[in-house]
Amino acid sequence: MSPLQPAPRPTPGRLHPARILLAAVLASAIALACADSGDGGGSPAAPATGRVAVVLTDAPVHDFVQALVTVSRIELLPATGGGRGDQGPGRQTLFEGLETFDLLALEHVSEPFAIAEDVPVGTYTGLRLQVEDIELVRLNDDGSTSSVFPRLPSGRIDLNPRGGFEVLPGATLALRLDIDARRSIQVVQTGNGRTIFRPVVFVEVLDATDPGRLITVEGRVDAIDTSVEPAHLRLCEVAIAFRDRRERRDESCLGVFVDGETAIFADSGRPADLDGIDLGETVAVFGRFVHDDDRRFALEAEVVELGGSAAFLALTGTISGAFDEASGTIVVQLDPGQGFVEGTSVEVLLVPETGLFDSLGERVALGDLGVGAVVELDGVVELSGTLPDLVRAAIVFVRSPTPPGDL
């Protein structure tokens, strides 16, 4: 039976009504770098500000197909109170507004959200997220959905790495902040039953030598420089709240490094090369956190999808047919609620260029894609009226089935 036409993957960094994850992991990566020093003679003064980028990610949760979190403010918390007489920096606002995140769409990757270049150097104890609303969406047996709205008693989430961290001139580091949604969402049986949200938070301090899981961005190719190795793309119109030292802007540009190990896929789902990337084209990038020559936040690309989310779909399911060497495919039974007829299975074509990763961003082998493994993939669907539909996969994330009794 042919499936319904699937919906495209949501655009990163905006409201994602198709899938939402607050019941998994909220991971936030922060890249800190010094400001550019000015020209002139003598010893340059130490920069008084640093650059901070916030990246979001998450992990899976059962029962709920969406977990929407609306955040109104993100702040860096100083080690001191920031009042008169304090030697350290005061509380620093990285973002202010209203943004609703689909955390379920970030199970295996992180997304850049906000970058601020005017953060004073100093010691900070963590991040504070001011939360306005939480909506958990459940898929019912009849295919309909229902929502619950758990309350966060304090209205905020404080994320504090052990020992704090420093923004230093000339240094670049990252903070990955994870909320374990499996443990954070609790259903309490009280009459009608209610859901409460008690954040379980893990914080890890990283740097560019240990970039953590993959980061994904989507944007328009504004410039291509192939005269250097690795080649450099300038990706603009990325959904990131950006603030520089002079003004606030809603959109920013990011540098993306592409080398011989980067897998590039055309909007047909077939492998391509750097020559296939056109100026003005929309692309999606899966890559690692690095910094460019100006110590700005950048990505080292693992996979590039030409056409972005308009061409590639994000699908989840369980492997029901092992890898067949003759056809180069596995069979995946798709999860419900993705626009396909319930019970639909698809053949997923894995070419040598297809990126295979686990949830932590580590590369895995074909042997890790065994029957029963839960996968999320990006690919181009070729619909068929009789045979199983084919998905040309650009990237596949795999995780083992959840052990019985483990929420």
pLDDT given for residue 6 in this prediction: 39
Q: What is the pLDDT of residue 259?
A: 94
pLDDT at 199 over 70: no
**pLDDT tens per residue across span 260-301:** 999 999 999 999 999 999 999 999 999 887 877 666 778 899
Q: Which of 113, 205, 103, 188 is nearest to 150 (CA)?
A: 188
Cα-Cα-Cα-Cα torsion 361, 367, 373, 378, nearest 10 degrees, comes to 50
Query: Which has the minimum average pLDDT: 19-23, 302-306, 372-376?
Result: 19-23
Q: Give the pLDDT confidence score for residue 242 in this predicted structure.
A: 53
More reliable by pLDDT, 163 or 181: 163
- Give yes or no for residue 140 having a pLDDT over 50: yes
Average confidence (pLDDT) over 166-174: 64
The band of 62, judged by pLDDT with boundaries at 50, 70 and 90, is: low
- Residue 71 scores a pLDDT above 70: yes
The residue type found at 198 is R
In the chain, the percentage of residues whose pLDDT exceeds 90 is 29
Residue 340 has pLDDT above 70, yes or no: yes
Residue 353: is its pLDDT beyond 90?
yes
Note the pTM of the prediction, 2 decimals: 0.69
Q: How far apart are CA 397 and CA 315, in angstroms?
A: 10
Q: Where are the beta strands (DSSP E) in 239-281?
A: 241-243, 248-249, 252-258, 263-265, 271-272
Query: Phi/psi zone of residue 361: left (φ > 0), alpha (ψ -120 to 50 degrees), beta?
Result: left
Is the pLDDT at 369 greater than 50? The verdict is yes
Does 352 have pLDDT greater than 60? yes
For 235-254, what is each residue's pLDDT tens digit?
998 866 554 444 444 457 88
User: pLDDT band for position 178 (50/70/90)?
Assistant: low
pLDDT confidence of residue 129: 83
